[in-house]
Structure 1
């Protein structure tokens, strides 16, 4: 009898606790201070105040930006916070124009050292980048001093969904030192001629997912830097842009290995490149392994399948010296559609460290051009091929 009563009491207590959690109130912090700050106002101070108060809350909190257009000179929203926190962007945050004063140098909005963060609401981060594209530096150089729309630095166990990044002056989203973060139903929009506007750049982060998202930009839709591990990219539509890229790798000393990348069920439309791995020649040492690209649709895509270990933009390297980044465990499987370049499959590996364990399965591409036939090229790699091979499997050459 005592045992039955004990179980009943425990069950009742669990039910009570669950009920209290379900009915727990989320504390709301409205950046307009309940409508006293009107649209078109600068909400920088109000946003920082709302965030700091929400972050200090010991119960779950939500920072709300209601519908309307609001100016934001820049904000670094820092943790750690005392409880889960949500950033509910319903309206439009607008960055300073070309001649505006940014408060964060190369950063417009940053979330740092936050655990259990949710960003949602269907709103827009508008970087107002159009006037700066190609003006502050030449198109063939990297504009490192322009603001990135949104940075995530050391964010963990979080989800970013139902938001749009528009017309960033530089990268749209930069992910650094993060773990277990999911991006889903995210839109990224910039013109095809917008330089250095990578959609999502990931570096030194683990267990990052980009799902069910649409990226239209002037550079890589998604790019992975060193230290990217356990990365999943699925059901992403990319284009225009430069494609989905691992790298470039090997430019800097002490780069961390890239390992465990799955790119699957994605569609690329009218992009300069498809799926590619790129490393610098004459590089620092590095490794990239377990890189899988599967079920990819190409629609009028240049260089649909590419490994490029002679990547040397702007002639900033000694191209005659081989890359020292070891690439291994690469799978290209079920990649189909149309190529805008006759050379559709290009596997150019390092003469010093040839690619290891590369597989090509069911590659079915057609050339959309008027002249020439679809071809492939291999250098310093002996891929294992199976299934359909269109273009025909390439002949290996050595440097």
Structure 2
């Protein structure tokens, strides 16, 4: 007499996997194959299992097309990339190459490589020269959208066509031991861009790219950037802010114990003049930063207007409040060591500069410290001499 279980074949498969203590969903395609279809199928199956599962891409090189791995899932998921996945060249205005979305209790690790194959596409990326609505969009390599309680560690993003990693809507997501690699001439290849998220950590990460190593968009709350090495690249940036309407406040950004080498900028905050919104960026703290031949080491730029795409006569309406630059040392690639260029419409408030020691050995004169529309509080040593006095000295200095 037959037995009718009243469950789907797939659910039976999950139960059998659990009973055998084997909850691994492994790519079986040969190296060199396109695994897009198989990976999509395996992820959907893993996402429906009622206990923790692992999706594994083994060692070897594989082709991978656009893929979206969407939750919510019934249990935690571990995604292990041991090999290398290579993007195809067919972009067609796509927004992403790989997307992980709406997953709780997510892990991504394995030591593998996401190779965006960006070299052939960078020539088509003219977004840094023209209107953002007119340029040809290239895909972000890896998106993490609405991930809750996640950790991404020990992976490499290589030669992204556009941003390497983009995070939006995440809560309690950590990136650790990440390697990001692209040449310094690759356009718009921000290393890690975060926005509209709460509780993001970027730790012990090495970023070499053609744009900002880390960029912070609107709506970011409680971001920790620690032990990050950046260069080449455009530095670690809050913003740009104010380009779009309906942007949200930025609050609680801490950048500590980081090293920047041969970058176009150091630590900076950038907002657009003639901003499309009026928001606040507050509680931003840069501390214990090492500089090696960094242009514009410390920069607040509230007249950020690349390629003259804005009205500079209208001051930025983004308010900057409670900003600290402390214990920042090293060498500048030009004489503009410190530039605090705040908005004349909304001057910066509660800016503290403490123990700055930045040298410049160029023939065009000593390093300079410029201020506009700000009266910073000065603590400890200032080299170059700060734009404002008096200097207050904390105990122990």
User: Normalised by the size of structure 2, how large is the TM-score?
Assistant: 0.90
Gaps of 5+ in 1: 1-22
The answer to whether the Cα contact below 8 Å between 1:106 and 1:144 also exists between their aligned partners in 2 is no
Q: What are the superposed Cα offsets for residues 262-287 of structure 1, whole Å, 9 maximum, x if unpaired?
A: 00000000000000000001112110
- 1:379 aligns to 2:372 (yes or no): yes
3-state SS of 1:134 partner = helix
Of 105, 126, 140, the match for 2:115: 126
3-state SS of 1:130 partner = coil
Q: What are the superposed Cα offsets for residues 43-88 of structure 1, whole Å, 9 maximum, x if unpaired?
A: 0000001100111111110000000000011110000111110110
Q: RMSD in angstroms over aligned alpha carbons?
A: 1.5
| Partner Cα distance (2:26, 2:367) in 1 | 57
Of 89, 99, 104, the match for 1:110: 99
Of 209, 212, 215, the match for 1:220: 212
- Residue equivalent to 2:186: 194
Distance 1:330 1:122, change over 3 A: same
3-state SS of 2:37 partner = helix
3-state SS of 2:300 partner = strand
Q: What are the superposed Cα offsets for residues 94-127 of structure 1, whole Å, 9 maximum, x if unpaired?
A: 0003xx366x812100000000000000000000
Shift of 1:395: 4.5
| Partner Cα distance (1:294, 1:65) in 2 | 39
The 5 Å alignment of 1:1-399 reads: 25=21, 27-32=23-28, 37-97=29-89, 100=90, 105-137=94-126, 140-141=129-130, 145-283=137-275, 284-395=277-388
| Partner Cα distance (2:286, 2:91) in 1 | 42
Shift of 1:135: 2.8
| Partner Cα distance (1:24, 1:349) in 2 | 63
Shift of 1:144: 5.9
The answer to whether the Cα contact below 8 Å between 2:72 and 2:103 also exists between their aligned partners in 1 is yes
Please say which of residues 141-150 and 275-284 is displaced more in the overlay: 141-150
3-state SS of 1:47 partner = helix
The answer to whether the Cα contact below 8 Å between 1:341 and 1:367 also exists between their aligned partners in 2 is yes
| Partner Cα distance (1:226, 1:26) in 2 | 42
Distance 1:69 1:383, change over 3 A: same
| Partner Cα distance (1:379, 1:189) in 2 | 36
| Partner Cα distance (1:260, 1:347) in 2 | 20
- Residue equivalent to 2:13: none
| Partner Cα distance (1:333, 1:25) in 2 | 52
| Partner Cα distance (2:139, 2:242) in 1 | 25
Distance 1:140 1:156, change over 3 A: same
| Partner Cα distance (1:372, 1:40) in 2 | 56
Gaps of 5+ in 2: 1-18, 390-397
| Partner Cα distance (1:42, 1:25) in 2 | 29
Q: What are the superposed Cα offsets for residues 360-394 of structure 1, whole Å, 9 maximum, x if unpaired?
A: 00000001423311111000000000111001001
Give the aligned length: 367
Shift of 1:136: 4.3
- Over 2 Å off, 4+ runs: 23-26, 134-144, 368-371
The answer to whether the Cα contact below 8 Å between 1:336 and 1:364 also exists between their aligned partners in 2 is yes
Please say which of residues 143-152 and 288-297 is displaced more in the overlay: 143-152
Shift of 1:131: 1.1
3-state SS of 2:124 partner = coil
| Partner Cα distance (2:154, 2:20) in 1 | 24
| Partner Cα distance (1:181, 1:222) in 2 | 15
Shift of 1:137: 2.5
Shift of 1:157: 0.1
| Partner Cα distance (1:203, 1:217) in 2 | 20
The answer to whether the Cα contact below 8 Å between 1:345 and 1:375 also exists between their aligned partners in 2 is yes
The answer to whether the Cα contact below 8 Å between 2:254 and 2:286 also exists between their aligned partners in 1 is yes
